[in-house]
Structure 1
Amino acid sequence: MEKASVSHMSTRLTLPNRTSTFPQFKHPTSFITFPNPTPLRLRRLNCSAPDGAVPSSSLAVKKKAAEVSPELKGTSIFLVGMKSSLKTSLGKLLADALRYYYFDSDSLVEEAVGGALAAKSFRESDTKGFYESETEVLKQLSSMGRLVVCVGNGAVTSSTNLALLRYGISLWIDVPLDFVARDVIEDQSQFAPSEISISGSYPELKDELGALYDKHRDGYATADATISVQKVASRLDCDKLDEITREDLALEALREIEKLTRVKKMMEEAARPF
């Protein structure tokens, strides 16, 4: 297999108007299409709403998003943290509520280098090169607006990538390692063998995930705000972390975004000459 390289990333990402069916990633010889974020109907685990009914928590997310949008002014949102299905679902829900586009930076790198298998081989043989490819993707994404982007660990491993995240609002989605471990067991392709080994026992997997978490913790902590599943559960008096829904996290994220936009507005007003 021909070794992938950063030269694959020399193209530009282009997004049509939201009324179009698909945003597109332009490849030298073809167009790779990514679906628009689809409306999500997510309910609490103990919700008894009839089929077809939209839970009140989903309506609350849309209402809060409508309140935040005017001050957000199309600023993109970057989600950092350990890869997990909860982080992905949260990103898609935020994109849907804000009427943004959703992207996963690792998925874009995969498409650019020839698919998931090629990207897997690339990352295993040249982790640094894979992260450099992610930098090229981030350069393009950071120049756009109205995006929610789930970024990989490569986004927090260099000062260049961290600087690119400053073009938007970055949120650290702090998910318990038990959640991440369950995802890894269900989908073993989430992490490269160079990052963790999936051949050991569950406690060994947890230990490896913990080491990976500690390795990138300082990078995660540079985010503008942290959305912690454990803290949200504590604030809502939930006995079990599994009771926390994506709507709960989305509301927390939107509140943090609202705080950040207010602070920015105050700083801009304070800087205006009399």
Structure 2
Amino acid sequence: MAAKALQSLHLTTWIGSDSMFPAPSSSMGLCTRLENKKKVNLLKCNLVRTVKPVVGYRSAGVNVSCTPQNSPASVLESGTFTTEEDLALKKKSEEIEPCLSGRCIYLVGMMGSGKTTIGQILSEVLGYSFFDSDKLIERSVGGTAVADIFKLHGEAFFRDNETEVLHKLSSMRRLVISTGGGAVVRPINWKYMHKGISVFIDVPLDALAQRLTAVGTASRPLLHHKSGDAYTQTLKKLSKLWEDRSEAYSNAHVRVSLERIATKLGHGDVCCINPTQIAIEALIQIEGYLKK
């Protein structure tokens, strides 16, 4: 089944720009397994498909061929775990990896919730490959950025391609997949994601608004605004998106709450939490789900 999907979908390890978290420091030294590198190198095939037509847009076959990329050596390949958190992450990943039985992990959550960074960490410690669904969509549309896809072809076009990508990914194994914030709105997407384990990264809206405002919202088509206070406008639009999507996020198998992590660690602000701590909590919650 995976072989059939590989014939039509090119998958590679992308480190996307979705994350609002700082990149893990080199002291983390997450191991990259030689075996996993070999598996990534096997995923060399083309994404060849016909883009769905939209009004005013002529459909065309799109060939995309890319070379697998590994995460930066300075971050992931030193092979040493230097802090208690790193050791805890390694230990927990070794405990649950056999229990996953190769099932994929899908990270869902609002834009800016850190799915890319957390997914990258989880993939490395589990010996999985990491993929960003938005990056796959961009590649399938000739490298067009998400914001431009929305502008040129509309949200429905983007969602159709998102569903197609998730469909193909769902036939594979040993992947950690960062999904777009709106991937949860279509029930068919949950059908595909529930073939693996879905993990909801739950970040308070005010924290998301602060992060997104700090880096700018120009690349976020659903947040773009022309005037007014940037934070206020961003929080307003995030609140509307949350109102529309919160029920859908509850379909995830696992919920990782940053507020809960902050309470456990004695932090008064979720912004004090680092990606390693979130990854550890994700593994703990996945372990709890697997034991049910």
Q: Which category of TM-score, normalised to the shorter sequence, fits these structures?
A: 0.7 to 0.9
Distance 1:55 1:160, change over 3 A: same
Among candidates 36, 60, 80, match of residue 18 of structure 1 = 36
Deviation at 1:30, TM superposition (A): 4.5
What does the per-residue CA deviation read over 1:16-72, in whole Å, with 9 as the maximum and x for residues that have no partner?
A: 973336544623444123423457859xxxxxxxxx972221121011000001111
The amino acid of 2:70's aligned partner reads N
State the percentage of identical aligned residues: 32
Distance 1:169 1:105, change over 3 A: same
Matched, 1:255 2:255: no
Matched, 1:151 2:179: yes
Q: What is the match of residue 31 of structure 2?
A: none
Structure 1 range deviating more: 121-130 or 88-97 = 121-130
Q: State the alpha-carbon separation in 2 of the partners of residues 166 and 14 from structure 1.
A: 20
Distance 1:38 1:179, change over 3 A: farther
1:33 counterpart SS class: coil
Distance 1:239 1:224, change over 3 A: same
1:32 counterpart SS class: coil
Segments of 5+ residues of structure 2 without an aligned counterpart are 1-6, 14-34, 49-62
The amino acid of 1:114's aligned partner reads G
Among candidates 29, 33, 38, match of residue 67 of structure 2 = 33
Q: What is the match of residue 122 of structure 1?
A: 149
Q: What is the match of residue 75 of structure 1?
A: 103
Q: State the alpha-carbon separation in 2 of the partners of residues 30 and 113 from structure 1.
A: 9
The amino acid of 1:100's aligned partner reads Y
Q: State the alpha-carbon separation in 2 of the partners of residues 40 and 91 from structure 1.
A: 18
Q: State the alpha-carbon separation in 2 of the partners of residues 188 and 205 from structure 1.
A: 8
Q: What is the match of residue 270 of structure 1?
A: none
Deviation at 1:100, TM superposition (A): 0.6
Is contact 1:37-1:102 (8 Å) kept?
no
The amino acid of 1:219's aligned partner reads A
The amino acid of 1:27's aligned partner reads L
Among candidates 254, 274, 292, match of residue 225 of structure 1 = 254
Is contact 1:153-1:216 (8 Å) kept?
no
Distance 1:26 1:190, change over 3 A: same
Matches within 5 A, 1:73-222: 73-84=101-112, 86-117=114-145, 119-124=146-151, 125-185=153-213, 186-192=215-221, 195-199=222-226, 200-201=228-229, 202-222=231-251
The amino acid of 1:171's aligned partner reads V
Q: State the alpha-carbon separation in 1 of the partners of residues 160 and 190 from structure 2.
A: 13
Structure 1 range deviating more: 142-151 or 205-214 = 205-214
Q: State the alpha-carbon separation in 1 of the partners of residues 202 and 113 from structure 2.
A: 12
Is contact 1:233-1:239 (8 Å) kept?
yes
Distance 1:255 1:53, change over 3 A: closer
Is contact 1:81-1:173 (8 Å) kept?
yes
Output the TM-score relative to the length of structure 2. 0.75
Q: What is the match of residue 19 of structure 2?
A: none
Distance 1:212 1:24, change over 3 A: farther
The amino acid of 1:19's aligned partner reads K
Output the TM-score relative to the length of structure 1. 0.80
